[in-house]
Amino acid sequence: MLMDANQAVLVIVDLQGRLMPAIHDAGLVLAQNLRLAKIARLLDVPVLGTEQNRQGLGPNVEEIAALCERTLHKTHFGACFDGLQDMLPAGRKQIVVTGCEAHVCMLQTAIGLLQLGYEVIIAIDAVGSRQAASRDAALARLDKLGAHLVTVEMLAFEWLRDCKHPRFREVLALIK
């Protein structure tokens, strides 16, 4: 039941420059995604991004884009309709999903991954919507559908497993 860095992929959904100013607690959402992406990179967890209607919403925030190995440009709200599953590294079954908007693209992407048989993990402190109620409704729905709801810090320590992990101090510095 613990999250395993060797089985994980991080998918950051639509943290786009033109969208973020409208997101409730956008600064916190962005900070938590940056923290999680940096931790993932330290622990060799692949980091992928998505961008919804790039022409309308622009690219992902530069700091996020720099941490993503690949970015899927999509028009569907659910990234699986645009081929996200084809970007996922073979053999990795735990997909951590974060991003915006929680009740639209993040939700539909997570549901698509669940339908494909992946174990879906939602880092709840790294998702956002324009309204907190929409975010909360999306998380409640995903919980009922079988996604695991965790925090960035929970993920970090589960991925590390042991304070003797060679990257423990580097990850700890990102958490503090």
Q: Which domains does the chain have, with CATH numbers?
A: 8-175 (3.40.50.850)
pLDDT in tens, 120-158: 999 999 999 999 999 999 999 999 999 999 999 999 999
pLDDT band at residue 89 under the 50/70/90 scheme: very high
- Predicted local distance difference test score (pLDDT) of residue 6: 97
Strand partners, 17: none
Structure tokens at 152: 């960035």
Q: How buried is 131 (Cβ within 10 angstroms: 0-12 exposed, 13-18 middle, 19+ buried)?
A: middle
SS3 166: coil
Cβ-Cβ contacts under 8 Å for 47 (sequence gap 6 or more): 9, 10, 12, 37, 40, 41, 67, 68, 69
CA-based nearest residue to 150, from 27, 29, 15, 3: 3
Structure tokens at 26: 């956008």
pLDDT in tens, 109-125: 999 999 999 999 999 99
**What Å distances lie between residue 116 and 72, 91, 93, 109, 168, CA to CA?**
18, 14, 10, 11, 33
* Counts of helices then strands in the chain (DSSP H, E): 8, 6
pLDDT higher than threshold 90 for residue 75: yes
pLDDT band at residue 1 under the 50/70/90 scheme: confident
Cβ-Cβ contacts under 8 Å for 88 (sequence gap 6 or more): 9, 48, 95, 118
